[in-house]
Structure 1
Amino acid sequence: MTFASDVYGFARTVCYAMFATPFPRQRHWQACSPRLAGLLDQCLAEQPAERMATFEEVLTHIDGPHTAAKAAPVAAVPGKKKDDFWGQTAEFLRKTFSPAPGATPPKKAEPTSEGIEVVAEAKKKEPEILDVVPLPPPTSEGIEVIEEAPLVKPAKKPPPQRDSRRNKRVSNEE
């Protein structure tokens, strides 16, 4: 266990908290900011040598070099204990990676007239009806019986014997 493995565990925990899975898919990465995606990508590198070595590097990446040296715990959230590490960590992440004040979410794409026409045409078409051919009654025709085929019989195992001197079973396989 090294600090790099702690950074990896931290990143997996953040992924689980954000995406409800420790192994996010492409759609999850697209939903978060490029800055956060870059940070998590560095922390989740498979080789420990490729990861950030300590949390100081993580903090430097988040806030720049000026804050890593004086990194202090986040102010306590009302109603939480001062030693609530995970609560403070969650609050820190929320503050650091929340959208900028006044930011507006992207607008949803409006359906185009071309797309509406395609859907309308598809609804106008009659559903395709497939002809169902009834199955023929079962017969024995087509089944060839091979009477000269040799039968393979499993070899019988001899029953275990007892050693009369010790009154114990002795295996025949030795």
Structure 2
Amino acid sequence: MQVRQNDEANRLLFEGKVRVSHVFGVRFLSGLLMALVMLGGFILCLHLLQAVGLWQEDLKGWSEASFIISGILVWMLGDWLHNKLWERQVRILDLGDQACLQVGRDQDYYNWQALRKVRAYRFYARHGQVSTYNLVLVFEGRTYRFSSSDESLVALSELGQALQSYLKQR
């Protein structure tokens, strides 16, 4: 594809660090890997607690607290591993009749007419605010799933609204 080099024609639509995945099967396998790592970490924590002596029947209160603390530590390990596997720097540029998607070091160009579907999913926290925003962009031959739960959440949701309105107008 022909790429425009004029910076004035290039308009930045989105820039931020979000979790990115391309294929559902890869997401499933990484989830399975993370579950196995978390289970192994939990078993290791319980084994270490037993070796230290904090997991005994006569220390029932300490054992329950140690069990809960081990679970929290393993959950934090899983969250860190999830972000490490999937978090990438993303830039989306409007090049006029093309879109440039830069995910990490990879850079792909798509014609705007190749954009087939835009789906947005919002997940809410207990207090009613959006905690996670997922945006799925379906181009001909490639699907991108972007997910954010931090400072880039607002920018990602604005991009989703703009692209959905673009598809409705087209």
Q: Which interval holds the TM-score relative to the shorter structure?
A: under 0.3
Higher strand share: 2
Work out which of the two has the higher radius of gyration on C-alpha atoms and give 1 or 2.
1
With normalisation by structure 2, the TM-score equals 0.24
